[in-house]
Amino acid sequence: MIRIVCVVGARPNFVKMAPLVRHIKEEWSDTFETTLVHTGQHYDEKLSQIFFEELRMPQPDVNLGVGSGTAVRQIAEIMQRFEEVLLWKKPDRVVVVGDVNSTLATALAAEKMGIPVAHVEAGLRSFDPAMPEETNRVLTDRVSDLLFATEESAVQNLLNEGFDKERIFWVGNIMIDSLISHSHEAGRSTILNRMSLAPQEYALVTLHRPSNVDTQEGMGRMVALLSEVEKRIRVLFPIHPRTRGRMEEFGLASALGTLRNVTLCEPVGYLDFIRLMRDAKMVLTDSGGIQEETTALGTPCLTLRENTERPATITEGTNLLIGTDPQRVLAAVVDILEGRGKKGRVPTLWDGQAAQRIVRILQARSAGCASHLKEAPLLVRDADFGMRSGKQRMDDVS
């Protein structure tokens, strides 16, 4: 048995880890013994428990119950508590996803204890040092020995940073595995009726990046921007608890509340959210994952940031990096309303098979499982396909 510990901590982690854990349970339970650890970074029912149910993910075997706090406290607390789990489980490998504090803290703890780490969604770079997730991404990659990339730019970033190409695998986008496998069910969601929304007649908004919500000025700009957008189209804004907290702190909640064409609600469950993205005229967001999901769904997306770590959503998908200037955003909104929204295609390997590729590589590359190494060349060759085709495509480009 290959013993792996899979780590989740925050909303986007659940969406990325679920396909992997489910695939192992359904098809590889004779090969892998999996321990699912929830750090407790997100503990709100709407940001956590509902995802386990809707994504049909087993309940965590261990919950570290770390809760909220400053990044330093959270990371330190997770590392200490995770060390106990690693001493107890003695896994062959730790698998982490994404770029949240839980990702970095558990990867670092594992590396310090000599346990190999696999990072799913490696190599993404916004090149913005002010973005907390950027530090998490860079450092997590540094301590990981298997690097699973979602898009070509991520492979290139890792090669540019000097990582050995034997450790990099372009496996596709596991978040899109979840999207594809739940799209049918999401089609049955009744959220549009519940919110009295008509397809194509609303804009969906999410905001939670510190650059937009952590300062009075940033949050004020967002409210000003929404007050322009709502003059043109109805807006649905499921508010992240963090954003709600900031809004109240800055005294901006009532200003937003008076906008008649803006509907505020709690964060919605995953199936409802897929339905909302699919049927929206456009999505305005600063989320990472939502840029990718809208590209996969073909819904125009305006990213309210100055940079993105997911450039495939721009070069290939429906995403526009628009920044936060209200006039610029409004011009882009009008373009979409007048039928000039960005069209795109689904990037390479965003095909619902990423979890399968990852598991085959994990099996082939796991330390201390000599019985499996016989099969490794074939599996790695097969799994390496993404990497090779990526290299080829990059050579074509250069």
Q: Is 153 helix (H, G, I), strand (E, B) or coil?
A: helix
CB of 11 to ligand UDP, least distance (A): 4
Based on the residue annotation, tell me whether 42 is a catalytic residue of this protein. Answer: no
CB of 209 to ligand UDP, least distance (A): 7
Of 179 and 379, nearer to ligand UDP (C-beta) is: 179
CB of 178 to ligand UDP, least distance (A): 7
Q: Which residue has the tokens 């929206």?
A: 280
Of 267 and 347, nearer to ligand UDP (C-beta) is: 267
- The DSSP line for 242-268 is HHHHHHHHTT-HHHHHT-TTEEEEPPP
Q: Does 290 bind ligand UDP (CB under 6 A)?
A: yes
Residue 113: left if φ>0, alpha if ψ -120 to 50, beta else—which one? Answer: alpha
User: Which range touches ligand UDP (CB under 6 A), out of 8-16, 24-32, 254-262, 352-360?
Assistant: 8-16
Helix 174-187 to helix 289-297 angle, to the nearest 10 degrees? 60
User: Which range touches ligand UDP (CB under 6 A), out of 108-116, 247-255, 263-271, 346-354?
Assistant: 263-271
Of 205 and 379, nearer to ligand UDP (C-beta) is: 205
Looking at residue 167, the DSSP 8-state letter turns out to be: G
CB of 73 to ligand UDP, least distance (A): 20
Q: Does 289 bind ligand UDP (CB under 6 A)?
A: yes
Of 35 and 136, nearer to ligand UDP (C-beta) is: 136
User: Which range touches ligand UDP (CB under 6 A), out of 228-236, 265-273, 309-317, 382-390?
Assistant: 265-273
The binder of ligand UDP chosen from 77, 293, 309, 384 (CB under 6 A): 293
What separation, in Å, do the N-terminal and C-terminal C-alpha atoms of the chain show?
A: 43
Q: Is 102 helix (H, G, I), strand (E, B) or coil?
A: helix
Alpha-carbon distance 395 to 392, whole Å? Answer: 5
Q: Does 9 bind ligand UDP (CB under 6 A)?
A: no
Site string for ligand UDP, 80-99 (x = CB under 6 A): --------------------
The residue among 365, 357, 345, 355 whose CA lies nearest residue 386 is 357
CB of 374 to ligand UDP, least distance (A): 38
The binder of ligand UDP chosen from 5, 9, 12, 66 (CB under 6 A): 12
Look up residue 225 and give its amino acid.
L
- Of 23, 119, 182, 208, the catalytic one is 208
Q: Which residue has the tokens 């200037």?
A: 325
The residue among 17, 18, 101, 12 whose CA lies nearest residue 310 is 12
Interaction residues for ligand UDP, span 199-238 (CB under 6 A): 206, 208, 238
Alpha-carbon distance 290 to 303, whole Å? Answer: 9
The binder of ligand UDP chosen from 32, 148, 202, 273 (CB under 6 A): 273
Q: Does 150 bind ligand UDP (CB under 6 A)?
A: no
Q: Does 15 bind ligand UDP (CB under 6 A)?
A: yes
The residue among 337, 307, 336 whose CA lies nearest residue 321 is 307
User: Which range touches ligand UDP (CB under 6 A), out of 76-84, 253-261, 286-294, 367-375?
Assistant: 286-294
Of 297 and 379, nearer to ligand UDP (C-beta) is: 297
Alpha-carbon distance 32 to 23, whole Å? Answer: 11
Q: Which residue has the tokens 């085709």?
A: 389
Q: Does 281 bind ligand UDP (CB under 6 A)?
A: no
Note the helical H segments in the chain: 11-27, 49-54, 71-89, 101-112, 132-142, 152-160, 174-187, 191-194, 210-213, 216-229, 241-249, 253-257, 270-279, 289-297, 312-315, 326-337, 354-365, 370-373, 376-383, 385-397
User: Which range touches ligand UDP (CB under 6 A), out of 11-19, 117-125, 145-153, 213-221?
Assistant: 11-19
Of 233 and 268, nearer to ligand UDP (C-beta) is: 268
Note the helical H segments in 61-151: 71-89, 101-112, 132-142
Q: Is 93 helix (H, G, I), strand (E, B) or coil?
A: strand
Q: Does 169 bind ligand UDP (CB under 6 A)?
A: no
Footprint of ligand UDP (CB under 6 A): 11-12, 15, 206, 208, 238, 267-268, 270, 273, 287-290, 293
Residues involved in catalysis? 208
